[in-house]
Amino acid sequence: MHQKADHRVPVLIVGGSLVGLSMSVFLGRLGVRHLLVERHSGTSIHPRGRGNNVRTMELFRVAGIEPDIKAAASLLADNHGILQTPTLVGDAGEWLFKEIDPGGGLARFSPTGWCLCSQNDLEPVLLDSARELGGDLRYFHRMEAFEQDADGVTAVVLDRDTERTYTVRADYLVAADGPRSPVRGALGIGQTGPGDLFANVSATFRSTALAEVVGDRRFICCYLTHPDADGALLPVDNKEHWVFHAPWHPERGETLDSFTHERLRRHIRQAVGVPDLDVEITGKASWRAAERVADRYSHGRVFLAGDSAHEMSPTGAFGSNTGIQDAHNLAWKLAAVLQGWAGPALLASYDTERRPVALATSARASARSVEHSHPGFAPAPGVGGGKRGGILNVVLGYHYPHGAVLGTDPEQPVVPDALALSGRPGTRAPHLWLRRAGERVSTLDLYERSLVLLADSPDDAGWHAAARRLAETDGIPLDAYRVGPGADADLTYEDDATDWARAHGVTADGTVLIRPDGFVAWRATAAVPDPEGVLREILRTLLQTS
């Protein structure tokens, strides 16, 4: 069948929402040809999924689209915190938290920060970038069926405009096709977790008077707790466009059709506390919060990413961020295998690394919903009872105990109790500001298209020279940088307080090997007699080339 395929590509992406588009961008940046099919006619039109956490913004920074995303998000740039109140009239209520980054402490850990950009604003930025990078993105095209063999995947795709089908032959298929993933179903992959948590009806509406009621309370979200009209209010432009999430109880027989425009108007007015508030409903959509994780993330040459792999409670915006980070983890591994510098066995580390992160993060998301008393969420016993508290350790501090990493501590929890980015293998590499040819760069800016080795040994027998020789002789994308205060350094310090070795948990004679996704693959705390031999063996093991 595949001998007659109409199209041949290394990677076929099914699903063109946030995760599928991010996968397209990341593969495009790495020079991997691909085709994306999405059954809808265009990007999202509903303002949802707005919280892009610091780790996601680091990935978009390296991908060169952080400025475009910030421009798309400019209307909500000054919105911070979550307010919980019985009414917006007067000064009642309390801030669950008022600042995402109080005191600016995040700058010690990252060159960027959180960004509030709704899905309907973010997806067009990703779409434009993906196409500029050469991605073949086809909207209103639906994959009808697929089959795989030892050498690849053959898919049948329907062009919904012409009602004609065509075949695509790909080396690998990435399914970013949502929580009801047809691909996951076809593979027979089950799911683990409590399941459905609660449901909401999300209404977009216009109100010119609401901005005056809100006043200077520039929240990300406001939980309104009126006993007869609770819900969540979210600003779209802080002026006249808003979103309201009303609890929906399908388990009691309540239908979506029962949420008429008049009912939603009444509910919003009562929740806000202004009986005659002008409310014009402009749209509505239903959604269900759930906690589920796929029992495995791959089957043969097919991989799950995003909601097809995991569902999470929306509190904390963990779901889409985890999905985008799935895509980033998988993209460099697909590129390494397709370009011949890693063995196919490397791809098994996608499941090994990302699935435990989803299990830990989804539990934290449910706990966060309990902590914030999310409207409509009445947790069953045992649900959402996990660890609570800050989320920076969840979004930035998670680590991979197993996978394409060496020298990890498997006894450490996937999500630590406190944030400690100290160069430990399996964690995101530390951020330091350095100078390269006079330009200010973060160490995180170095990690994307190759492995990176940091050292400060200027001699011909040290780590740096060994890495350079290996890159030349073994054909592995491996960039080596000498870091230090001296004139012979490739990366120099901005101030006397900087010490790259101490920040990465090694001595001046040691070295750190960083993966293209910015995670520490391995480190040596000091010099060794045969650095080239050690490095060659480390790379062979990491990249599964033996």
Q: What's the rounded Cα separation, in Å, for the pair 62 and 520?
A: 17
Of the residues 252, 271, 290, the one at which a domain ends: 290
Residue 255 buriedness (CB in 10 A; 0-12 / 13-18 / 19+):
exposed
| Whether residue 497 sits in one domain with residue 354 | no
pLDDT of residue 316: 72
Give the domain extent around 258. Answer: 193-290
Residue pair 233/47 in contact (Cβ under 8 Å)? The answer is no
Q: Is the pLDDT of residue 491 over 70?
A: yes
Using DSSP bridges, classify how beta strands 164-175 and 153-159 pair: parallel, antiparallel or unpaired.
Answer: antiparallel
Q: What is the mean pLDDT of residues 193-221?
A: 93
Residue entry with tokens 């978009």: 60
Q: Tell me, what CATH number does 149's domain have?
A: 3.50.50.60
Total count of domains within the chain: 3
pLDDT grade, residue 92 (50/70/90)?
confident
Position 44 confidence tier, pLDDT thresholds 50, 70, 90: confident
Helices and strands (H, E) in the chain, number of each type? 13, 25
Pairing relationship of beta strands 136-139 and 34-38 according to DSSP bridges: parallel
Strands (DSSP E) contained in 295-331 are 298-299, 302-304, 310-311
Contact 300/189 with Cβ under 8 angstroms?
Answer: no
| CB of 323 closer than 8 Å to CB of 307 | yes
Pick the range with the lowest mean pLDDT from 36-40, 197-201, 269-273: 197-201
Q: 70 and 172 share a domain?
A: yes
Task: Classify residue 433 by burial, with Cβ atoms within 10 Å: 0-12, 13-18, 19+.
Answer: middle
Last residue of a domain, one of 258, 290, 322: 290
Q: Does 494 share its domain with 483? A: yes
315 and 283 part of one domain: no
Report the share of the chain in percent with pLDDT over 90.
78
Is 104 among the domain residues?
A: no
> Would the pTM count as exceeding 0.75?
yes
Residue 405, domain member (yes or no): no
In terms of DSSP bridges, do strands 451-455 and 478-484 run parallel, antiparallel, or are they unpaired?
Answer: parallel
Residue 47 confidence (pLDDT) above 80? no
Give the distance from CA 332 to its chain's centroid: 15
CATH classification at residue 246:
3.30.9.10
pLDDT of 406 > 80? The answer is yes
Radius of gyration of the chain (CA): 24
Q: Are residues 527 and 468 in the same domain?
A: yes
Residue 368 has pLDDT above 90, yes or no: no
State how beta strands 7-14 and 478-484 pair. unpaired
In a domain, 403, yes or no: no
Give the pLDDT of residue 377.
65
Do 366 and 265 sit in the same domain of this protein? no
Q: How far is the C-alpha of 514 from the C-alpha of 394, rounded, in Å?
A: 21
User: For the chain, what is the mean pLDDT?
Assistant: 92
Closest CA to 353 of 393, 429, 292, 298: 298
In a domain, 254, yes or no: yes
pLDDT at 388 over 80: no
Could you tell me if 332 and 403 are in contact, meaning their C-beta atoms sit under 8 angstroms apart?
Answer: no
pLDDT at 1 over 50: no
Q: Do 188 and 312 reside in the same domain of the chain? A: yes
Residues 163 and 122 in one domain: yes
Whether 88 maps to a domain, the answer reads: no
CA–CA gap between residue 361 and residue 367 (Å, rounded): 10
Contact 23, 327 (CB under 8 A): yes
- The answer to whether residue 17 sits within a structural domain is yes
Residues contacting 355, CB < 8 A, separation 6+:
293, 294, 296, 297, 309
Pull the structure tokens for residue 346: 């490397």
- How many whole angstroms separate alpha carbon 233 and alpha carbon 145? 40
Sign of CA dihedral 67, 72, 75, 76: negative
Of 222, 202, 206, 197, nearest in space to 119 by CA: 202
Average pLDDT rounded to a whole number, residues 243-262? 93
Is 330 a domain residue? Answer: yes
**pLDDT tens by residue, 435-449:** 999 899 999 999 999
Does the pLDDT value for residue 418 go beyond 80? yes
Same domain, 453 and 506: yes
Do 199 and 187 share a domain, yes or no? no
Rounded CA gap, 253 and 264, in Å?
18
Contacts of 104 (CB under 8 A, 6+ apart): none
Answer yes or no: is 108 within a domain. Answer: no
pLDDT in tens, 162-191: 999 999 999 999 999 999 999 999 999 999
Q: Of 259, 290, 321, at which residue does a domain stop?
A: 290
**5 in Cβ contact with 168 (< 8 Å):** yes
Per-position DSSP letters for 477-524, written without gaps between them: -EEEEEEESSTT-SEEESSTT--HHHHTT--TT-EEEE-TTSBEEEEE
Asked whether residue 328 falls in the same domain as residue 470, the answer is no
CATH of the domain at 439: 3.40.30.120
Instruction: Count the neighbouring beta carbons within 10 Å of the beta carbon of residue 410.
Output: 8
Per DSSP (E only), the strands in 135-272 are 136-139, 141-148, 153-159, 164-175, 191-206, 221-224, 231-235, 241-248
Do 165 and 312 lie in one domain? The reply is yes
Q: Kindly report the three-state secondary structure assignment for every residue of 350-372.
A: HHHHHHHHHHHHHHHHHHHHHHC
